[in-house]
């Protein structure tokens, strides 16, 4: 989350004219508010209602949620909003408010869109995929560019690719809870087909951003994007071939590899636009 938010701020720095001061302090403030207050509160609220007992990736045996976790998480998010409105551009506060609302709709009953296949997907591809780096950019106060919009929009289909992959290993627990997640509806093989198609859509938008930004051919910038795309294909194609026969542990390992491919993509985008 910190890296993806910071990517937006870093890209915004590229638009600062030579000789003008870089808005590092505003960018760091936005990053802290987004990651610690908004994302931290979101995770707390999600845990308060999920009450997971099985492996949730970073916790093999999650403890029972403490009392008042929902109130604590909501308070943290609202405190971040107050600080954002006081210290940062209004556009950052607006995007923060949108994501705060999406977080509540996603996790909190009776709406709890996390349990509605498709709605869970849309919220995450918008919230994490595009709005997170957009918030990093807007925190700096810099205006968006045409290539910036295309680049950040590209992360929406990229997260659309990643999201069902994070659910495959939890399918049995989600089914027992009654949640109808996207991965449960699609099944393993179709989840991988959707992920592959969304990945190609993402890199098409990244390429369009390069064209809008005036990239020449050939250049190392295109090579960086190609390396990132290959990283995704190395993860997805073998997974697709064995999707129906993989165990939950194998699906989980695939998820970690997909997260690594995401990190490679963030790095490739940063290098190709900043160098």
- Rounded-to-integer distance, Cα 128 and Cα 134, Å: 10
Residues 98 and 213 in one domain: no
Residues 120 and 213 in one domain: no
Residues 126 and 259 in one domain: no
226-258 confidence digits (pLDDT tens): 999 999 999 999 999 999 999 989 999 999 999
Q: What is the pTM assigned to this prediction?
A: 0.89
Mean pLDDT in residue range 112-135 = 90
Helices marked H in the chain — which ranges?
Answer: 2-13, 24-32, 40-50, 69-87, 90-107, 119-124, 132-139, 146-167, 171-177, 182-186, 188-212, 220-241, 248-274
**Residue finishing a domain among 92, 122, 144:** 144
Residues 262 and 245 in one domain: yes
Residues 96 and 37 in one domain: yes
Residues 275 and 161 in one domain: yes
CATH number, domain containing residue 254: 1.20.120.1780
**Residue finishing a domain among 114, 144, 174:** 144
Helix (H, G, I), strand (E, B) or coil at 116: strand
Least confident of 52-61, 108-117, 140-149, 225-234: 52-61
127-172 confidence digits (pLDDT tens): 999 999 999 999 999 999 999 999 999 999 999 999 989 888 887 7
Range of the domain at 7: 1-144
Contact assessment for residue 80 and residue 58, using Cβ atoms and an 8 Å cutoff = no
Which of 111, 71, 85, 106 lies closest to 33 in space, CA to CA?
A: 85
Number of structural domains the chain divides into: 2
**What confidence category does residue 203 fall into, taking pLDDT thresholds of 50, 70 and 90?**
very high
Cα–Cα distances (Å) from 237 to 78, 122, 174, 199, 232, in that order, read 42, 24, 25, 12, 8
Residues 102 and 171 in one domain: no
Residues 227 and 254 in one domain: yes
Residues 69 and 83 in one domain: yes
Distance of CA 100 to the CA centre of its chain: 15
Cα–Cα distances (Å) from 255 to 50, 81, 116, 195, 251, in that order, read 20, 32, 21, 12, 6
Residues 137 and 227 in one domain: no
Residues 1 and 49 in one domain: yes
Which of 137, 134, 56, 138 lies closest to 92 in space, CA to CA?
A: 138
**Residue finishing a domain among 144, 173, 199:** 144
Mean pLDDT in residue range 44-60 = 68
Residues 136 and 165 in one domain: no
- Rounded-to-integer distance, Cα 234 and Cα 79, Å: 42
């Amino acid at each position: 989350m910190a890296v993806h938010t910071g990517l937006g701020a870093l890209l915004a720095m590229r638009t600062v004219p030579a000789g003008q001061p870089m808005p590092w302090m505003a960018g760091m403030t936005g990053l802290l508010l987004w990651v610690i207050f908004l994302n931290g509160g979101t995770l707390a609220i999600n845990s308060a209602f999920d009450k997971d007992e099985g492996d949730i990736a970073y916790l093999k045996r999650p403890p029972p949620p403490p009392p008042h976790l929902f109130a604590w998480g909501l308070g943290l998010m609202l405190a971040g909003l107050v600080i954002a409105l006081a210290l940062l551009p209004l556009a950052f506060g607006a995007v923060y408010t949108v994501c705060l609302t999406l977080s509540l709709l996603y996790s909190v009953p009776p709406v709890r869109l996390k349990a509605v296949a498709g709605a869970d997907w849309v919220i995450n591809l918008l919230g994490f995929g595009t709005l997170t780096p957009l918030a990093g950019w807007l925190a700096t106060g810099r205006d968006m560019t045409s290539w910036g919009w295309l680049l950040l929009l590209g992360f929406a289909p990229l997260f659309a690719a990643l999201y069902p992959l994070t659910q495959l290993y939890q399918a049995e627990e989600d089914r027992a809870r009654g949640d109808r997640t996207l991965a449960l509806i699609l099944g393993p093989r179709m989840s991988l087909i959707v992920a592959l198609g969304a990945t190609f859509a993402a890199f098409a938008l990244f390429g369009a951003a390069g064209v809008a930004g005036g990239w020449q051919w050939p250049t190392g910038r295109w090579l960086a994007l190609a390396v990132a795309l290959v990283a995704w294909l190395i993860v997805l194609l073998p997974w697709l071939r064995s999707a129906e026969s993989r165990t939950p542990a194998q699906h989980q390992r695939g998820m970690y590899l997909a997260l690594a491919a995401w990190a490679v993509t963030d790095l490739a985008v940063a290098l190709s636009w900043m160098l």
